[in-house]
Structure 1
Amino acid sequence: MTLGKNSVVGFIGIGVMGKSMAGHLLRAGYQVLVYTRTKSKAETLLQEGAVWKESVAELAAQAQVIITMVGYPSDVEETYLGDGGILRHARTGTYLLDMTTSTPSLAKEIYQAAKQKGMYALDAPVSGGDIGAREARLTIMVGGDQEAFETVRPILELMGQNIVLQGQAGAGQHTKMCNQIAIASNMIGVCEAMAYAGKAGLDPLSVLQSIEAGAAGSWSLSNLAPRMIAGSFEPGFYIKHFIKDMNIALAAAEEMGLLTPGLKLAKSLYEELAEKGEAESGTQALYKLFTEKQGV
């Protein structure tokens, strides 16, 4: 099957990243239906030509491709499997792309339920934050059937550049957990390095110029350390959602009998930060723990 520009795409969840992602589809010429719990978040898209739908059920009944970018696994479960959910109201042959970071087990459950109804479900979580979403440079990690993946690839390519089918249903979510585990410990290192630079009396921006191009280089160092230095803690990715991701990763790792001490430490630090009222801040706000505690 080919999904041309006359295909109707439904987008559920217009948050920090979802707004940019849906916008790319609109500007590419797709008819985009949108639904989110807070309609005001979709106003910019509606002004660009997106069509508002009053419920998940209404959107699902009219779209050929449905993309979800919601908050938590409980939101994913309600959106897909609830009485007013996608699987009860979408048509046979619909392609379902859950781009939320959720649990591998739920991804498999949705895949099986969709298959029984003649629909095609892919778990396709992303990495790249608000910048990657805005610039259509997201990394997209996909789990599901090859044929369904190839059918929706042109849509995915409007939102990201590094797009890989990792395996069967759930493989995309497992891959995202690898991503979050790597980021968790790396963020501690980035914060410690910037705090050290400040404590040593160095210019943190000058230090960053030296170390980001070498062996210490990482996405977090290049993209989030400048925000730390500038005192900008607006969310490209919410702390509350990162804690959610780390909980998913820890549960999956423990189920496999895998030790992840770095992940456990990072989660404890972020939970401490959330308890201080920073749950709605960006993940770079971890820097505050290191500077406030140590007088940097």
Structure 2
Amino acid sequence: MTAIEPGKTRIGWIGTGVMGHSMCGHLIDAGYQATVYNRSPEKTQGLVDKGATAVDSPRAVAENSDVVFTIVGFPSDVRQVMLGEGGVLEGSREGMVLVDMTTSDPSLAIEIAEAAKAIGVQAIDAPVSGGDLGARNAALSIMIGGDAETVRRIDPLFQLMGKTIVYQGGPGSGQHTKMVNQTLIASGMIAICEGLLYAHKVGLDIPTVLKSVSSGAAGSWSLSNLAPRMINGDFDPGFFVEHFLKDMKIALDEASKRNLALPGLALGYQLYHAVAAQGHRRDGTQSLILALAKLNGFDWKNENR
């Protein structure tokens, strides 16, 4: 593959949802020609309006691209899009690069990398953190596994989508790093919700409390970005509960393979199942506050007005 350059390097993008739409849009805005696909074609319209070409299969994306990015929902979706009938590998040719930015199984990332290498293609796993805001603001953290030289060559594309871009090692390393990220978030979200519930119950002004605690030792991205949404009753998805459940299950499975006990993560997984059972599967992860408030016998939306 030649050097990455706007106007010459052709980009493929599969998955134009909450995050993927913005991420692909940054590449188009930088001058890259893009071919896009989504299972719900109407979700590609904003990118088509920017100049992208929509096609009807992942294979067609690959046939018209030099670098193909995917960011879909679940490992089963990654497998189908990459390895299935009409998938990316069927349309790939020697010298291409495939970049999966879905949070997925590390073992699947290795399987895809090996299948791609057999036909002269490099496959990179590059899951992201930062949610809808990070995607819109090109401020994502990108955790990368795969061939180091290939990662170096396509770095100009990563730079258009993220602020923290770190190579972690061989295939699967990006996914393993994302599991660390999700493990940290799971316990942290419980703590944030419990802190807000405490502040509410003792009668403090919660926005004022946040001014004090957000810049101290308790500060975190989730506290600064998601706690205000909880306070304002905004439970729109920056990251879906059902996708977080998927991520935690992957991390727990990987830990189990290594006889590693992660009780904090396991608790988070169970609590988020409660969130899903209460009808918030397609809401944002900040909706954990609703489940924990209900556990304490009150309705957060109504009492926190």
Match of 2:288 in 1: 286
Normalising by structure 2, what TM-score?
Answer: 0.96
Specify which of 205, 214, 217 is matched with residue 215 of structure 1.
Answer: 217
TM-superposed CA distance for 1:41, in Å, is 0.9
Which sits farther off after the overlay, 85-94 or 175-184?
85-94
Q: State the alpha-carbon separation in 1 of the partners of residues 254 and 278 from structure 2.
A: 27
Match of 2:201 in 1: 199
Query: Are residue 54 (structure 1) and residue 56 (structure 2) matched?
Result: yes
Instruction: Report matched runs for 1:143-158 at 5 Å.
Output: 143-158=145-160
Does structure 2 retain, via aligned residues, the 8 Å contact 1:142–1:166?
yes
Q: State the alpha-carbon separation in 2 of the partners of residues 76 and 208 from structure 1.
A: 39
The number of equivalent residue pairs is 296
Match of 2:3 in 1: 2
Query: Are residue 13 (structure 1) and residue 15 (structure 2) matched?
Result: yes
Gaps in structure 2 of 5+ consecutive residues: none
Q: Kindly report structure 1 stretches of 4+ aligned residues shifted beyond 4 Å.
A: none
TM-superposed CA distance for 1:214, in Å, is 0.2
SS at match of 2:154: helix
SS at match of 1:154: helix
Instruction: Report matched runs for 1:269-280 at 5 Å.
Output: 269-280=271-282
Match of 2:117 in 1: 115
Which sits farther off after the overlay, 6-15 or 86-95?
86-95
Specify which of 55, 65, 75 is matched with residue 77 of structure 2.
Answer: 75
SS at match of 1:233: coil
Q: State the alpha-carbon separation in 1 of the partners of residues 85 and 119 from structure 2.
A: 15
Gaps in structure 1 of 5+ consecutive residues: none
Letter in 2 for 1:85: G
TM-superposed CA distance for 1:43, in Å, is 1.0
Match of 1:142 in 2: 144
Q: State the Cα RMSD in Å.
A: 0.8
Q: State the alpha-carbon separation in 1 of the partners of residues 233 and 294 from structure 2.
A: 13
Match of 2:244 in 1: 242
Does structure 1 retain, via aligned residues, the 8 Å contact 2:55–2:61?
yes
CA deviations over 1:22-69 (Å, ceiling 9, x no partner): 000000000011000011111111111111111111111110000000
CA deviations over 1:196-216 (Å, ceiling 9, x no partner): 111010111000110000000
Q: State the alpha-carbon separation in 1 of the partners of residues 283 and 195 from structure 2.
A: 20
Q: State the alpha-carbon separation in 2 of the partners of residues 213 and 168 from structure 1.
A: 36
Q: State the alpha-carbon separation in 2 of the partners of residues 28 and 259 from structure 1.
A: 45
TM-superposed CA distance for 1:278, in Å, is 0.6
Normalising by structure 1, what TM-score?
Answer: 0.99
Q: State the alpha-carbon separation in 1 of the partners of residues 64 and 246 from structure 2.
A: 31
Instruction: Report matched runs for 1:151-170 at 5 Å.
Output: 151-170=153-172
